[in-house]
Amino acid sequence: MDKELAKKSRYAKNFNFFVEKIDAFLSNYPSYFAYFPARVLNNCVLLPIEAESQNTALRIFSTLNDRGKPLSDADIFKAQLYKYYSSFGKKDEFIETWKNLDKITSEVFHPIYGTPLDELFTRYMYYERALAEIKSSTTEALRKFYEGDGSYPLLHQPKTLSNLVSLAKFWQDVNNQETERFSDKVLKRLFVLSYAPNGMWTYITSVYFMYHRDENDEIEENAFCRFLDCITAFIWAYAITNPGVNSLRTPVYAEMVKIIKGEEVTFSDFKFSEERYRAQITNYVFNNSRAITKSMITWWAFQHDNQSLLSLETRFDIEHIYARNRRDKEKSLSNPQNVEILGNKVLLEKRLNIRASDYRFVDKVKYYKGFTTANGQEKNGSQIVELAEISNSYSDFTETDIINRNSKIIDSFVNFLRANQLLKE
């Protein structure tokens, strides 16, 4: 048994234990070993377990199976799909398709709970919910939804597996920032959404793709951009006025149904009052621990027209242009809390943020712009265009600059809401 496998599996550990004991017994008492199998068989009692229903059987099996861990929802779905395709003599084709799905989802999805395949079924579930015009903010458990009346009807439809494959490949191309499939302007919007304060955007985008795709699984670029802009504006704004992903369910689920009806996503019943929203975003505390903080500064980075597409593989941190350490040492801010407002925060590569975080502005600039070491080694600066502009335009970054930049960000975001018709008349 593979030692690495033994470290991961309780069953493998048990297997290895008995193998070692049997080997030792065979070595020490070879003449008695012939009696060992009979001894085991004569003293083992196998008890049958009767289950009243399939659900009961699954609950029992979920606690004890060949992997030594509970069955995932995708395991149950796989069994149903296997049964369905076997009835048509296509089990080998199904097995190959499933292996491919497993590979794609393992590369693309990294859910906190459940398996990568569970995540794919979850995203597809929202499409099927929308088809059924389900707007309820109460979401059924994944397994319960697919189970339906107990016969798993969705999994016994020929379109389901091919739909899952199409959806998986769509998200694979999003994850790989596939330029043959998406234009630069689409990929930039998808990059911003990858820093969304919650994952709701992935569900409504899955519904949009499934409905609007053509026979080649392509979607019209300009309409897709309008959709991405609208959901970005709404999700960002709603995270400030109605924090928490649960509050998003009512407006987003309603828009999913509108997509299926061929209507544009507008969030017309959930528009914002400009005056009230300005007050809310101005008074909002953008702590680094709040996901919306990084969401906002990522969105802001791409409001600069010459900002190039950034790689999803690059890790970015929140950089304080006016360092918190400087505030504590110099005590030069009239309002110490201004160091934490959006006007003082910017997206910065993690490798640079580690070096630049505690320096004065004049010392930070070289990390923002890049520099040559005493040994002649070139050190690349940040890919964030605004940081290059700030580095070239300012000799210092003061409290006044923080406040002015903060106002500019807020004004621009309110204008973004207006451009997407999300403000009340």
Per the domain annotation, does 54 fall within a domain?
A: no
Per the domain annotation, does 38 fall within a domain?
A: yes
| Residues 286 and 408 reside in one and the same domain | yes
Q: Which has the closest alpha carbon to 285: 108, 134, 122, 406?
A: 406
Per-residue three-class SS string for the chain: CCHHHHHHCHHHHHHHHHHHHHHHHHHHCHHHHHHHHHHHHHHCCCCCCCCCCHHHHHHHHHHCCCCCCCCCHHHHHHHHHHHHHHCCCCHHHHHHHHHHHHHHHHHHCCCCCCCHHHHHHHHHHHHHHHHCCCCCCCCCCHHHHHHCCCCCHHHHCHHHHHHHHHHHHHHHHHHCCCCCCCCHHHHHHHHHHCCCCCCHHHHHHHHHHHHHCCCCCCCCHHHHHHHHHHHHHHHHHHHHHCCCHHHHHHHHHHHHHHHHCCCCCCCHHHCECHHHHHHHHHHCCCCCCCHHHHHHHHHHHCCCCCCCCCCCCCCEEEEECCCHHHHHHHCCCCCHHHHHCHHHEEEEEHHHHHHHCCCCHHHHHHHHHEEECCCCCEEECCCCHHHHHHHHHCCCCCHHHHHHHHHHHHHHHHHHHHHCCCECC
| Residues 316 and 372 reside in one and the same domain | yes
Per the domain annotation, does 144 fall within a domain?
A: yes
Domain total of the chain: 4
- Distances in Å between the Cα of 41 and the Cα atoms of 25, 27, 49, 215 are 17, 21, 20, 60
- Distances in Å between the Cα of 36 and the Cα atoms of 26, 29, 126 are 10, 10, 56
| Residues 244 and 291 reside in one and the same domain | no
| Residues 357 and 377 reside in one and the same domain | yes
Q: What pLDDT is attached to residue 356?
A: 59
| Residues 204 and 156 reside in one and the same domain | no
| Residues 150 and 212 reside in one and the same domain | no
* The last residue of a domain, from among 270, 289, 310: 270
| Residues 237 and 164 reside in one and the same domain | no
* The last residue of a domain, from among 131, 160, 176: 176
Per the domain annotation, does 53 fall within a domain?
A: no
| Residues 298 and 412 reside in one and the same domain | yes
Q: What pLDDT is attached to residue 251?
A: 97
| Residues 416 and 297 reside in one and the same domain | yes
| Residues 401 and 382 reside in one and the same domain | yes
Per the domain annotation, does 344 fall within a domain?
A: yes
Read off the pTM. 0.85
- Distances in Å between the Cα of 92 and the Cα atoms of 81, 85, 106, 158, 405 are 12, 9, 21, 16, 60
CA-derived radius of gyration, the chain? 28
Neighbours of 356 (CB within 10 A): 24
Per the domain annotation, does 301 fall within a domain?
A: yes
Per the domain annotation, does 36 fall within a domain?
A: yes
* The last residue of a domain, from among 176, 192, 210: 176
180 has which bridge partners? none
The tens place of each residue's pLDDT in the chain, 425 residues long, gives 455 555 556 777 888 888 899 999 889 988 888 888 888 888 888 777 776 666 666 655 655 555 556 678 999 999 999 999 999 999 999 999 999 999 999 999 999 888 999 999 999 999 999 999 999 988 889 999 999 988 899 999 999 999 999 999 999 999 999 999 999 999 999 999 999 999 999 999 999 999 999 999 999 999 999 999 999 999 999 999 999 889 999 999 999 999 999 999 999 999 999 999 999 999 999 999 999 999 999 999 999 989 999 999 999 999 999 998 888 888 889 999 999 999 999 999 998 876 656 678 888 888 899 888 778 888 889 999 999 999 999 999 999 999 999 999 999 999 999 999 999 98
The range of the structural domain enclosing residue 337 comes to 281-420
Per the domain annotation, does 51 fall within a domain?
A: no
At residue 370, what are phi and psi to the nearest 5 degrees?
95, 155
Query: 235 with 194: CB under 8 angstroms?
Result: no
| Residues 259 and 339 reside in one and the same domain | no
| Residues 247 and 295 reside in one and the same domain | no
